[in-house]
């Protein structure tokens, strides 16, 4: 029996190829993402462990802001002397690193990565811990000198002798590049400017007695843990964060890990889509192979093979396919991870890695996914194969499965569909974000299952309509292609399902993102009163100079600064909420339209006052006039009086819970050294907006990191942020479509083989090759469009429900991107045509006589 299985596997290898490809893709994504994240994590783990001092003393853990404040937290530099005196400490050195800077070259072009990785100014220290090595020039000595990292120098075309301008919190200063230093370790993508250590403290942190951390080295024979213990003892627990090199590496890797996790989850998302869509492809291939082999299976049964043997034979084939696909997938995954690592270097993350890390988890997961998916997908077809009766060997070769009633599918489909619809309806009427989201998730899964199960039932009615115009448009060729698509609803349904899944996701996500965009637009229209918003494209804070220069610009009327601070509020209901509060200057009413449920701007911004969202206040038992204890960074506590409750639709969301805002003076007081995050600017009387724009652009020329945006520009900026989500969705769609195309190709190729005699007959009675190709193309188009329509309908329903959840978060506008919908349908038709290319070619090349005589 095993021999027969192997023979049959090899005999059908051509037809299994496309299924194998689906397995390969899924496994490649899984393996690739695991290898990539392992490799990167290992690389950085080693890097941080080797470049961290034995023990590092840094400012203590504190509240973390969801929005950067621009503050650099410091320790006294004199702490180093104290630490040096501790027994077992060989040396203690203050380190200075500042990430809140902007570096521009002599043409005011920004120097450094544009992809979000930081640009840092660092005090130079040349010891074995350094991540760089001076390759040319000399070290920086005194003010006005700097060493630039070689990657950045290459990327920005800078050399020794060029001048840079460093915009730091205390002020801007100019430096001349006196040396270039190359990374000796992987570069996570940051641009580094090295300064004389003492100059760095003054220029970056504002005082020679400040440092961002103290690097402590243990004396020979003393372990890092011992030093850690003694330092902690000497300083007192909690006053500073004291970490050994290993802990430091772990913390740093964790921080980087968040970024890597995003990549990993995105990749696993791709793997998930590949697996999901691949399952349909494999199910379909096996079903078709079994349908074709009905007689052969019947013969096996007639010769005495029992059901279990037939089933096992098919499943063995599946496992062989899975093993084969997984092995190729592993290989492809390694290549994929390598490509990804190379790709990271395009974004400035130079991993300098020659060594791939393949943990045992990777191959285990890869094979589990590959073989598991194939096995699961082949299980139903295998059972069906086992049900083939010995009589099938004697019967005329009628394709099994065509005539089997779809009753079970109808029942299961409608029950699951009803449950899913109920869940979605529940989501739509739900008033809490949590339950609504859960119901949404449940509804999405159930309706997806229902559509997949009931898909074949929808084939007839939908394709009758979709292909209804075919006979009129394309004559008998159109009629035959439409009927061919209707011929085996199961097969058409399963083929289209692969496309449907991907398009449903895209449909839902595009409705959600379009609704978000529109909601933000409406919100901007409603609330933004300023002529211009001056802001960093990444929403990072900027230096004080920018604010000063803007204020001094001619024609500028009102300027309102905005700052953020991490806070923790202790609410009357006992809950402690960590969030971010915004600080505004007094004339915020001139640049924004805030609606209040009670109180007003003056009361909110008054000294000792605060405003919060009315809904949030009500949920937590806060009333206008009550005083809430608020905690600022560094353990500073104060009581603030709720002077106003706002009634804004989007008070919550984006991690800024509670919609807290207060006077900017309070933030400046509690977060010293912070930076402005935005300036809201109105034109002075007599100055037109266009004039002001020109002047602001001139003023801001030396500060390329910030831009002046009017409302339209501001909307574009917000749209761009949302678009990132959409790009991801489109990439997922692309992958889903590639696999779905494989499915359509597969189905058509097998159909063409099955219909060999029919095709021979058609050619004999005068169907031209071109007409034959068109017939197959049209069939593919109708299948693809069927999948697209099903997917889009499902996706739009999901999208509307997602919108209901978003509405609870304040994003009330609903937008359906009809352009995208139409584009997807047209795209699906193109996909169909592309998928039909090879099968159509093959059919048209058939020898007429051989085709007619085909058994």
Partner 1 sequence: MSTPAAEHTPGLTSADSIAARARGLTKAYGSGETTVLALDAVDVDIARGRFTAVMGPSGSGKSTLMHCLAGLDTVSAGRVWLGDTEITGLKDRELTRLRRDRIGFMFQSFNLIPTLNALENITLPMDIAGRKPDEKWLDQVIDTLGLRDRLGHRPAQLSGGQQQRVACARALASRPELIFADEPTGNLDSRAGLEVLGFLREAVDRLNQTVVMVSHDPGAAAHSDLVLFLADGRIVDEMERPTAQAVLDRMKRFDVIRARSVDGIPTPGRVSGLTPDLTPKPASGLAPGPASHRAPDPVPGAGPATGDAVRSDEPAPRKD
Tell me the C-alpha distance between 582 and 668, whole Å.
11
Looking at the Cβ atoms of 91 and 771, the one nearer to partner 1 is: 771
Looking at the Cβ atoms of 460 and 487, the one nearer to partner 1 is: 487
**In whole angstroms, what separates CA 241 from the centre of its chain?**
32
Query: From the CB of 476, what's the least distance to partner 1, in Å?
Result: 4
Sole binder of partner 1 in the list 484, 601, 675, 707 (CB under 8 A): 484
Looking at the Cβ atoms of 41 and 852, the one nearer to partner 1 is: 852
Residues 486-525 that bind partner 1 (CB under 8 A): 486-487
Residue 653 region, left (φ>0) first, then alpha (ψ -120 to 50), else beta? Answer: left
Residue 504: strand, helix, or coil? helix
Cα angle value 243/245/246 (rounded, 5°)? 95
Query: From the CB of 401, what's the least distance to partner 1, in Å?
Result: 15
Token pair 């034109």 in the structure block, residue = 683
Burial 149-168 (b: 16+ CB within 10 A, else e): bbbbbeebebeeebebbbbb
Query: From the CB of 745, what's the least distance to partner 1, in Å?
Result: 21
405 binds partner 1 (CB under 8 A): no
Query: From the CB of 389, what's the least distance to partner 1, in Å?
Result: 20
| DSSP code of residue 815 | -
Residues 748-767 that bind partner 1 (CB under 8 A): 757-758, 761-767
Looking at the Cβ atoms of 419 and 486, the one nearer to partner 1 is: 486
Query: From the CB of 848, what's the least distance to partner 1, in Å?
Result: 6
List the structure tokens of 756: 């060999």
Sole binder of partner 1 in the list 15, 97, 479, 587 (CB under 8 A): 479
Query: From the CB of 396, what's the least distance to partner 1, in Å?
Result: 10
CA distances from 355 to 123, 183, 340, 352 (A): 31, 18, 14, 9
Residues in binding contact with partner 1, number by CB under 8 A: 24
Contact 631, 680 (CB under 8 A): no
List the structure tokens of 656: 């800024």
Sole binder of partner 1 in the list 260, 480, 571, 784 (CB under 8 A): 480
777 binds partner 1 (CB under 8 A): no
CA distances from 275 to 271, 383, 403 (A): 6, 22, 29
Contact 458, 493 (CB under 8 A): yes
Residues in the chain: 855
Residue 807: strand, helix, or coil? helix
Looking at the Cβ atoms of 483 and 719, the one nearer to partner 1 is: 483
Looking at the Cβ atoms of 476 and 672, the one nearer to partner 1 is: 476
Query: From the CB of 492, what's the least distance to partner 1, in Å?
Result: 13
List the structure tokens of 69: 């404040």
Question: Which of 205, 126, 125 minimizes the C-alpha distance to 173?
Answer: 205
Looking at the Cβ atoms of 657 and 774, the one nearer to partner 1 is: 774
CB within 8 Å of 142: residues ≥ 6 apart: 196, 199
Question: What is the sign of the dihedral through the CA atoms of 711, 714, 720 and 726?
Answer: negative
List the structure tokens of 91: 């040396």
Strands annotated E in 361-464: none
Residue 482 region, left (φ>0) first, then alpha (ψ -120 to 50), else beta? Answer: alpha
Query: From the CB of 403, what's the least distance to partner 1, in Å?
Result: 10
Question: What character string, x for contact with partner 1 (CB under 8 A) and - otherwise, covers 420-459?
Answer: ----------------------------------------
Query: From the CB of 460, what's the least distance to partner 1, in Å?
Result: 13
Cα angle value 447/448/450 (rounded, 5°)? 60
Query: From the CB of 479, what's the least distance to partner 1, in Å?
Result: 7
Contact 786, 466 (CB under 8 A): yes
Sole binder of partner 1 in the list 476, 634, 655, 672 (CB under 8 A): 476
Query: From the CB of 321, what's the least distance to partner 1, in Å?
Result: 31
Contact 115, 166 (CB under 8 A): no
Looking at the Cβ atoms of 442 and 852, the one nearer to partner 1 is: 852
Tell me the C-alpha distance between 60 and 684, whole Å.
45
771 binds partner 1 (CB under 8 A): yes
768 binds partner 1 (CB under 8 A): yes
Query: From the CB of 724, what's the least distance to partner 1, in Å?
Result: 47
Q: Given the rule CB under 8 A, which of 136-144, 408-416, 477-485, 683-691 is the region that contacts partner 1?
A: 477-485
Query: From the CB of 266, what's the least distance to partner 1, in Å?
Result: 44
Query: From the CB of 271, what's the least distance to partner 1, in Å?
Result: 39
312 binds partner 1 (CB under 8 A): no
H or E, element range at 506? helix 489-527
Query: From the CB of 400, what's the least distance to partner 1, in Å?
Result: 15
Looking at the Cβ atoms of 198 and 758, the one nearer to partner 1 is: 758
Query: From the CB of 790, what's the least distance to partner 1, in Å?
Result: 22
Looking at the Cβ atoms of 129 and 483, the one nearer to partner 1 is: 483
Tell me the C-alpha distance between 36 and 260, whole Å.
9
Tell me the C-alpha distance between 531 and 557, whole Å.
10
Looking at the Cβ atoms of 292 and 484, the one nearer to partner 1 is: 484
Query: From the CB of 770, what's the least distance to partner 1, in Å?
Result: 8
Looking at the Cβ atoms of 66 and 848, the one nearer to partner 1 is: 848
Looking at the Cβ atoms of 376 and 486, the one nearer to partner 1 is: 486
Query: From the CB of 330, what's the least distance to partner 1, in Å?
Result: 44
**In whole angstroms, what separates CA 705 from the centre of its chain?**
24
CA distances from 517 to 512, 597, 709, 714, 749 (A): 9, 26, 17, 12, 43
CB within 8 Å of 159: residues ≥ 6 apart: 153, 177, 180
Q: Given the rule CB under 8 A, which of 138-146, 469-477, 643-651, 814-822 is the region that contacts partner 1?
A: 469-477
Looking at the Cβ atoms of 341 and 783, the one nearer to partner 1 is: 783
Looking at the Cβ atoms of 698 and 768, the one nearer to partner 1 is: 768
Tell me the C-alpha distance between 244 and 225, whole Å.
7
Looking at the Cβ atoms of 262 and 853, the one nearer to partner 1 is: 853
H or E, element range at 423? helix 407-429
* CA atoms within 13 Å, Cβ hemisphere of 688: 3
Q: Given the rule CB under 8 A, which of 433-441, 474-482, 506-514, 737-745 is the region that contacts partner 1?
A: 474-482
Token pair 């109708």 in the structure block, residue = 782
Cα angle value 412/414/415 (rounded, 5°)? 65
Sole binder of partner 1 in the list 116, 434, 475, 635 (CB under 8 A): 475
Residues 89-108 that bind partner 1 (CB under 8 A): none
Residues 833-852 that bind partner 1 (CB under 8 A): 848-849, 852
Looking at the Cβ atoms of 46 and 769, the one nearer to partner 1 is: 769
Question: Which of 769, 770, 788, 791 minimizes the C-alpha distance to 780?
Answer: 788
Looking at the Cβ atoms of 56 and 484, the one nearer to partner 1 is: 484
Return the HEC string of 83-136.
HHCCCCEEEEEEECEECCCEEEECCCCEECCCCCCCEEEEECCCCCCCCEEEEE
- Binding residues (CB under 8 A) for partner 1: these are 475-477, 479-480, 483-484, 486-487, 757-758, 761-769, 771, 848-849, 852
């Amino acid at each position: 029996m095993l021999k027969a299985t192997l023979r049959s596997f090899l005999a059908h290898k051509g037809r299994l190829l496309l299924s194998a490809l689906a397995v390969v893709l899924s496994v490649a994504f899984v393996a690739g993402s695991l290898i990539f994240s392992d490799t990167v994590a290992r690389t950085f783990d080693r890097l941080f462990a080797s470049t961290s001092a034995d023990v590092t003393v840094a400012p203590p853990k504190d509240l973390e802001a969801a929005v950067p404040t621009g503050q650099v937290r410091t320790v006294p530099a004199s702490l180093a002397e104290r630490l040096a005196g501790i027994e077992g400490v060989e040396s203690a050195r203050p380190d200075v690193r500042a990430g809140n800077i902007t570096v521009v070259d002599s043409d005011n072009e920004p120097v450094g990565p544009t992809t979000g990785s930081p640009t840092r100014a660092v005090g130079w220290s040349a010891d074995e811990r350094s991540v760089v090595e001076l390759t040319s020039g000399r070290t920086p000595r005194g003010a006005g000198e700097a060493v630039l990292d070689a990657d950045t120098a290459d990327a920005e075309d800078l050399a020794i002798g060029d001048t840079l301008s460093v915009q730091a919190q205390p002020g801007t200063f100019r430096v001349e590049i006196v040396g270039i230093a190359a990374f000796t370790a992987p570069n996570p993508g940051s641009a580094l400017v090295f300064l004389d250590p003492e100059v760095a403290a003054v220029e970056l942190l504002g005082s020679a007695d400040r440092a961002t951390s103290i690097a402590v080295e243990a004396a020979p024979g003393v372990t890092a843990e011992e030093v850690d213990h003694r330092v902690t003892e000497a300083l007192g627990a909690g006053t500073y964060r004291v970490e050994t090199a290993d802990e430091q590496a772990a913390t740093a890797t964790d921080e980087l890990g968040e970024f890597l996790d995003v990549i990993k989850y995105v990749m696993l998302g791709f793997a998930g889509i590949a697996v999901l869509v691949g399952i349909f492809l494999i199910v379909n291939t096996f079903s078709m192979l079994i349908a074709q082999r009905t007689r052969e299976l019947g013969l096996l049964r007639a010769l005495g093979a029992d059901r279990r043997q037939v089933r096992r034979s098919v499943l063995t084939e599946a496992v062989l396919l899975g093993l084969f696909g997984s092995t190729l997938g592993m290989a492809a995954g390694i290549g994929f991870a390598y490509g990804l690592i190379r790709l990271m270097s395009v974004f400035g993350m130079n991993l300098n890695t020659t060594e791939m890390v393949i943990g045992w988890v990777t191959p285990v997961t890869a094979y589990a996914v590959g073989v598991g998916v194939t096995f699961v997908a082949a299980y139903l077809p295998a059972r069906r194969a086992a049900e083939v009766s010995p009589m099938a060997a004697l019967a005329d070769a009628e394709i099994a499965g065509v005539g089997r009633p779809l009753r079970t599918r109808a029942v299961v489909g409608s029950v699951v569909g009803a449950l899913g619809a109920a869940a979605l309806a529940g989501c739509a009427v739900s008033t809490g974000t949590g339950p609504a989201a859960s119901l949404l998730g449940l509804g999405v899964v159930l309706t997806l299952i229902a559509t997949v199960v009931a898909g074949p039932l929808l084939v007839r009615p939908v394709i009758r309509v979709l292909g209804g115009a075919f006979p009129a448009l394309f004559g008998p060729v159109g009629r035959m292609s439409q009927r061919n698509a209707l011929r085996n609803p199961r097969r058409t349904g399963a083929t289209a399902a692969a496309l449907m899944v991907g398009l449903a996701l895209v449909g839902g996500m595009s409705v959600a993102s379009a609704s978000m965009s529109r909601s933000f637009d409406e919100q901007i229209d409603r609330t933004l009163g300023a002529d211009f918003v001056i802001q960093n494209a990444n929403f990072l804070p900027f230096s004080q100079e920018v604010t000063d220069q803007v204020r001094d610009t001619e024609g500028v009327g009102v300027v309102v600064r905005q700052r953020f601070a991490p806070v923790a509020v202790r609410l009357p209901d006992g809950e402690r909420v960590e969030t971010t509060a915004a600080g505004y200057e007094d004339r915020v009413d001139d640049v924004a339209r805030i609606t209040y449920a009670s109180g007003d701007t003056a009361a909110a911004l008054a000294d000792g006052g605060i405003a919060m969202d009315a809904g949030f206040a009500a949920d937590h038992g806060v009333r206008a006039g009550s005083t809430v204890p608020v905690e600022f960074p560094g353990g500073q506590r104060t009581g603030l009086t709720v002077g106003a409750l706002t009634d804004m639709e989007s008070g919550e969301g984006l991690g800024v819970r509670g919609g807290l805002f207060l006077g900017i003076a309070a933030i400046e007081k509690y977060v010293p050294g912070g930076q402005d995050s935005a300036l809201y600017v109105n034109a002075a009387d007599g100055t037109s907006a266009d004039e002001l724009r020109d002047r602001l652009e001139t003023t801001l020329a030396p500060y390329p990191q910030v831009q002046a945006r009017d409302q339209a520009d501001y909307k574009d900026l917000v749209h761009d942020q949302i678009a990132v989500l959409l790009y991801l969705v489109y990439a997922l769609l692309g992958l889903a479509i590639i696999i779905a195309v494989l499915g359509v190709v597969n189905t058509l190729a097998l159909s063409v083989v099955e219909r060999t005699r029919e095709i021979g007959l058609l050619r004999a009675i005068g169907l031209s090759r071109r007409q034959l190709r068109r017939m197959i193309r049209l069939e593919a188009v109708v299948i693809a469009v069927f999948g697209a329509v099903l997917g889009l309908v499902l996706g739009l329903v999901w999208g509307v429900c997602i919108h209901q959840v978003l509405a609870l978060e304040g994003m009330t506008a609903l937008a359906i991107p009809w352009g995208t919908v139409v584009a997807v349908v047209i795209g699906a038709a193109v996909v169909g045509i592309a998928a039909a290319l090879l099968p159509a070619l093959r059919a048209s090349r058939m020898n007429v006589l051989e085709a007619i005589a085909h058994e």
